[in-house]
Structure 1
């Protein structure tokens, strides 16, 4: 079900003429959040740390895409 929600969100963002970096960044953030939560539930500190890292990378990529969107305007 989550994959359906993520696909739906990505489809919605494509129609709004958003930069590809922003879309990919949002996907990375979502994936990182899921991985972090799974790591916490399973008690896997490595997975939790990887999830936090992916979330941070997604935020950076999203910010880069936001700058690109501003430049396009």
Structure 2
């Protein structure tokens, strides 16, 4: 992030509109990744709160035999 800010500061003097677009893209991607992380974090916390272990991926014994 510090690298991006270091590049944006000189760019603002040359092409302010390009710097604004890049800053908006960086901010948008940060917010999207933050939203995804919070969703995964809450799902993992819910799984850890349950007392019994659960399979994250379902397994169908019939399909497992067909793959071999």
Structure with more helix by fraction: 1
Q: Whose radius of gyration is greater, 1 or 2?
A: 2
- Identify the TM-score tier after normalising by the shorter chain: 0.3 to 0.5
Q: TM-score, structure 1 length as denominator?
A: 0.45
Higher relative contact order at CA 8 Å, sep ≥6: structure 1 or structure 2? 1
Q: TM-score, structure 2 length as denominator?
A: 0.48
